[in-house]
Amino acid sequence: MTIPILSILLLLFILWLNYEIKRTSRAEKKSNEMFWQAEEASNTTRRKDISELDYVTLDLDRLPMNDNEDSTINSYRDTIKKMEGKKFVNLSDMTNTELKLQYGVANLNQLTEYDTNYTKLVSSLQKWAERYYSLEQVDSTVQILEYAVSIHSDVKKTYHLLASIYKSKKTPEKIQQLIESIPKTKIQDKEKLIKELSDIMTSF
């Protein structure tokens, strides 16, 4: 009796697997069709106004721009300084197709440039701050990190490092303010980051 039962179970498994493969194939086909329909529509969307986007203005007065004994710090500073006058906007939550549909295909290159500028800015700010921190120049570290938070940086390390510094300074209220700023960002897994910072705050 064992052999027939095993055969039936094997047959049922094969039937189930075949069904799942076909179901997945249909879902993928439908998804691909929807994508190409949206892509086709996006390529005919006319240029739209992009002046009201949430642009970031680089404010060098809020950053430690003085010369430092460390050449690496000066190098990061110079990288930031060269960005002055550029346009920055975080569009990381939108695909190229979505950008074209919403703002027009003619704006895609421009918007991609602005988004790339933003990514480079927040990444450079983080590296700059980390260098200051490695040299135990905490005040400048905080100055840079707080500025990054003010422009809604989506670099998670920025929030972790700043929260750690706030903990060392015994200022839990600032960690709370940091937590409250996260929903305004385009960070992925916001809830996870909020929990991590909350754990830091409650570990006093």
DSSP letters, 119-159, are: HHHHHHHHHHHHHHHHTT-HHHHHHHHHHHHHTT---HHHH
Instruction: List the pLDDT tens digit at each of the 204 positions of the chain.
Output: 455 777 777 778 888 888 778 778 777 766 666 655 655 555 666 678 899 999 999 999 999 999 999 999 999 999 999 999 999 999 999 998 899 889 998 899 999 999 999 999 999 999 999 999 999 999 999 999 999 999 999 999 999 999 999 999 999 999 999 999 999 999 999 999 999 999 998 876
- Contacts (Cβ under 8 Å, ≥6 apart) of 36: none
Note whether 55 and 88 are within 8 A (CB): yes
What is the Cα gyration radius of the chain?
25
pTM of the model as a whole: 0.79
Q: For the chain, what are the domain ranges? A: 1-42, 54-202
